[in-house]
Amino acid sequence: MSLLSLSIVIPVKNDSNSLFKVLSHIKNLYPEPKEIIIVDSSFDNSNQKIVENLKNTIPITYHHVKQAYPGRARNIGVSLAKYDWIAFLDCKTQPYNKWLQRYTQFIETYNVDVVFGVTKFEAITTFQKNLRASSFGKIGHQTVPGTLVKKSVFYDSGGFIEDLRMGEDIEWRNRLNRHGYKVYKPVEPVLSYSGLSDNLCTTLKKYFFSSYHSARTDIQLNIKEAYLSLALILSAIILPKWNHLIDGWDSNLLFIPHITKIYLIALVCLLLIYQLTRYLLFRNIPQTLFSRTLKIMVLIFITLTVYQWNAVIVGWMEDAVLYVPHITKVYVSGLVVTSIFYRGLALPLRREVEPGFLFPVRWIKVGLLGLLLDLIKAPAYVFGAIGAMFR
């Protein structure tokens, strides 16, 4: 097996303890990288002191930048690299000892230019274990940390977008996939991540801002989808009120009977067709801005339909066949129970969380936590999208 000439790039901001840990793990790698490049945007010099005091056989290049998001920090690190291959780490990720050995074999065996990293999320406290169960599970997830890429391919791809606070890593991976670079995607984890939040308040805040910036990223990078989503929202505002907006009602040539029902059925059919097509043909493609908007619109219209069901459909006649007692309470309860069941049982089991951890009652706590995360992400994504559109 030939050894790659490889530089490891690590962006860091504050968090000197984590930097020390990851540098200690790098010492145990085989084969060893040729160099380590640290791009530091900290407010103090604690990380610089760690590098200066660390006795390391691997040369370390330390570069301080006044202010940089992770994408810009990684781009700077690559520009400083002397060797043909780049490996990315974050300060809160610890590589397994055989990471570079396995990835070198993948590159030689499959003749690829990029191998994506796979990270497993670690949990110590009870809250972290519940959070992991409701989100990442115990399987590995594709990440930029752990990724090996040929430097020439990195430059050809355009590198990371520098002015994004979050989401630049996902965007870069998606761009590599779209543009047909030779990419290998392992399944087994080669890194562990130890930075899960340890309390509810911090977790909700992190998920809120992550969704907010994710929406802004989607809008900035997918202008056509932004316009499609805006058109969908405007149609949801205008079409149900169409017959009210035109004069003359049924005497007007533009009158459309049952337009709200037709519009709702059309939305549901469009969503079903999209989901079926994505499942059959594009299963590995992430959700788009338009698809998220479509799901929100369908949920809103179904909720409004349920809320007005007894009033509009049966005129509050309790002896009518279609009258449903307490329909709103039943509907909301059904949504909550379904969400808790999915986030507390179905998703964790699919992501290899042990049944013994979930039963007999912990799955309810896990499901409630997952429901809270969904509730905080939805409005954050909407706010971020609206803000980006107005910008």
- Looking at the fold, whether 166 and 248 belong to one and the same domain comes out as no
Contact 161, 71 (CB under 8 A): yes
DSSP string, 151-181: HHHHHHHT---TT-SS-HHHHHHHHHHHTT-
pLDDT at 1: 43
Domain assignment of residue 95, yes or no: yes
Domain assignment of residue 213, yes or no: no
- Looking at the fold, whether 157 and 29 belong to one and the same domain comes out as yes
- Looking at the fold, whether 244 and 289 belong to one and the same domain comes out as yes
pLDDT at 52: 85
- Looking at the fold, whether 14 and 156 belong to one and the same domain comes out as yes
pLDDT at 134: 95
Domain assignment of residue 204, yes or no: no
- Looking at the fold, whether 243 and 290 belong to one and the same domain comes out as yes
- Looking at the fold, whether 174 and 240 belong to one and the same domain comes out as no
Contact 51, 38 (CB under 8 A): yes
* The model's pTM: 0.82
Domain assignment of residue 363, yes or no: yes
Domain assignment of residue 72, yes or no: yes
pLDDT at 224: 67
pLDDT at 310: 80
pLDDT at 170: 87
What is the chain's length? 391
pLDDT at 6: 94
Domain assignment of residue 210, yes or no: no
pLDDT at 199: 95
Domain total in the chain: 2
- Looking at the fold, whether 248 and 325 belong to one and the same domain comes out as yes
Q: Give the helix/strand (H/E) hosting 120.
A: strand 114-121
- Looking at the fold, whether 127 and 243 belong to one and the same domain comes out as no
Residue in 217, 103, 81 with CA at minimum distance from that of residue 160: 217
Chain centre to alpha carbon of residue 244: 41
Chain centre to alpha carbon of residue 163: 18
DSSP string, 243-296: HHHSSSGGGSTT--TTHHHHHHHHHHHHHHHHHHHHHHH-TTSPPPHHHHHHHH
pLDDT in tens, the chain (391 residues): 456 889 999 999 988 888 999 998 898 898 889 999 999 998 888 888 888 888 777 899 999 998 889 999 999 999 999 999 999 999 999 999 999 999 999 999 999 999 999 999 999 999 999 999 999 999 999 999 999 999 999 999 999 999 888 888 988 998 898 888 999 999 999 999 988 999 999 999 999 988 888 877 776 666 666 677 778 878 888 888 888 887 766 777 788 888 888 888 888 888 888 888 877 766 656 667 778 788 888 888 888 888 888 877 767 677 777 788 888 899 899 999 999 999 999 999 999 999 999 999 999 999 999 999 999 988 888 787 777 766 6
- Looking at the fold, whether 142 and 11 belong to one and the same domain comes out as yes
CATH of the domain at 179: 3.90.550.10
pLDDT at 192: 96
- Looking at the fold, whether 87 and 189 belong to one and the same domain comes out as yes
Contact 284, 290 (CB under 8 A): no
pLDDT at 236: 82
- Looking at the fold, whether 49 and 187 belong to one and the same domain comes out as yes
User: Domain of 63?
Assistant: 6-198
- Looking at the fold, whether 313 and 377 belong to one and the same domain comes out as yes
Domain assignment of residue 193, yes or no: yes
Domain assignment of residue 208, yes or no: no
